[in-house]
Amino acid sequence: MRLLLIEDDPDLSCSLKIDLQHAGYAVDTAADGEHGEFLGMTENYDIVVLDLGLPKLSGLEVLKLWRQTNNNVPVIVLTARDAWHEKVDGFKAGADDYLGKPFHIQELLARIQALLKRIQGQIRPVFSVHGVTLNEEQQSVLIDGQQQIALTAVEFKLLRCLMLHSGKVLSKSQLSEHIYDFYNDPDSNVIEVYINRLRRILGKDMITTRRGQGYVFGKNP
């Protein structure tokens, strides 16, 4: 899971980044609204933690800009404690959840997990591409309506990412950003290993290698 943290307090940002990494997230940080807004529009994040009081561009402005352009990345806003109007403004601007400062990291982690679960549940718990059906709840796959096959966590994340971007070339580094779990610097050879495991499950022509570019999900026409 790839997370963007937009927070201008350097101490808080640094300690949150470490805690979030320990919890298994790949974390990018931005220290002002402009940079954060840019990252959120150009990179693919699974979730964003957004402080509202930011230099250059406020958190609310960042959120409004994203939502205006149909960027629906899940966002948790960090508000000042007891500032109820900030919470209201945040929700109006399109926030999915909020957390008042100061907070315990455990609460932030719980809210991130709950939000991701809620969002993933809303989006298709089961979806099919090219005869391959992925069941998100069971983390299993069904091929041409045949036998249900259980996937490991990494296989599931990798296949989900490929299927969501079916027909597009995904580089090894893009894929490792999304399946990142415990490694700070995921080895791109690991992706190759998992791609081969998926090919054994799905059939070897379901994932095409584009030499020097990456992988594409879907059979060649």
Q: Give the interface with Ca ion as residue ranges (CB under 5 A).
A: 8, 51, 53
Candidates 119, 58, 55, 67; CA nearest to 93 is 67
Give 99 or 207: the residue with its C-beta nearer to Ca ion: 99
Contacting residues for 57 by C-beta, under 8 A, at least 6 apart:
32, 33, 34, 36, 37, 65
Q: Is 190 exposed, middle or buried (0-12, 13-18, 19+ CB in 10 A)?
A: middle
Nearest-approach distance from CB 42 to Ca ion, in angstroms: 23
What's the closest the beta carbon of residue 49 comes to Ca ion, in angstroms? 12
- At its nearest, how many Å lie between Ca ion and the CB of residue 33? 10
Distance of closest approach, residue 30 Cβ to Ca ion, in angstroms: 12
d(CA 61, CA 91): 13
**Distance set, CA 208 to CA 36, 69, 165 (Å):** 34, 32, 13
Q: How far is the CB of 32 from Ca ion (least distance, A)?
A: 10
Least Cα distance to 28 among 11, 50, 58 occurs for 50
Residue 82: exposed, middle, or buried by beta-carbon count in 10 A (0-12, 13-18, 19+)? exposed
CB of 53 to Ca ion, least distance (A): 4
CB environment 136-149: b (16+ within 10 A), e (fewer): eeebbbbbeeeeee
Q: Write out the two tokens for 122.
A: 């809303």
93 Cβ contact list (under 8 Å, min separation 6)? 60, 63, 64, 67
Between residues 46 and 51, which has the closer beta carbon with respect to Ca ion?
51
